Structure 1
Amino acid sequence: MSVAVPWPADTGLAVERTALAWRRTALSSVLAASVLTHAAINATTVAFAVTAAAAVAALAVTAACCYRRNLTLRARRPHRISPVIATVAAAATLAAATATLGLGL
């Protein structure tokens, strides 16, 4: 195992660009979740409302993971994304995509 050391100064701003990308992903997840929440509230069928609620839950997990990664990058604490977080984020993304396809959007 290697010892974590602070990242050296980055003159190319690669870390900043990556952190901003994670922030954009989190914001787009929140926006998509709000649109689906509105659709679930105005749903005419129970299946539509349940599917939209599942997509909102998946997007909320995705947004939380993105926000956490953004904070980690901005604090410049060099640790990898754990396999558990990566698996949860992948499952949440897959669930959101499946729910969106189920909605027919």
Structure 2
Amino acid sequence: MSPKGLAAERTALAWRRTAIAAMVVAALFLNHAVSSGWRATAIASIGAAITMAAVAALCISRNRALHQGRFGHGGSVIASTVLAVVAVACIAATVDFTDPRP
């Protein structure tokens, strides 16, 4: 396999790992929404979970594109992923500061 092919394979695997991590984070946010008793902060948690599910779908799409030999630049995918993760981190910080501890 050529070096370019190996680099694409490593990158595809990194996108797959990112998708798995995003799905785990989405599940944790959903768990928080359910365990918090569906208070007002649950809306933010559900929004964050939906955002992370979208990130996972985007990562899976990029992974498949790389496996199919479509090596395009991917700058928009990277920018979208970064913006979504930063937005979810802000939501998580907001929920942590506003949600009373049991």
Equivalent residue in structure 2 for 1:20, among 6, 13, 26: 13
TM-score for the superposition, normalised by structure 1 = 0.77
Counterpart for residue 92 of structure 2: 100
Matches within 5 A, 1:31-46: 31-44=24-37, 46=39
Number of residue equivalences = 96
Where do residues 1-105 of structure 1 align in structure 2 (5 Å cutoff)?
Answer: 10-11=2-3, 13-44=6-37, 46-81=39-74, 83=76, 85-104=77-96
CA contact (8 A) 2:8 2:71 kept: no
Residue 10 of structure 1: how far off its partner (Å): 2.2
Higher helix residue share:
2
Cα distance in 1 for residues equivalent to 2:82 and 2:18:
14
Q: CA deviation at 1:89?
A: 2.9
How many Å separate the matches in 2 of 1:47 and 1:98? 16
Normalised by the length of structure 2, the TM-score is 0.79
Partners of 1:45 and 1:70 lie apart in 2 by: 35
Counterpart CA distance in 2 for 1:11 and 1:95 is 35
Report the identity percentage. 30
- How far apart are the structure 2 equivalents of 1:36 and 1:19? 26
Unaligned runs of 5+ in 2: 98-102
Q: Which consecutive residues of structure 1, in runs of 5 or more, have no partner in the other structure? A: 1-8
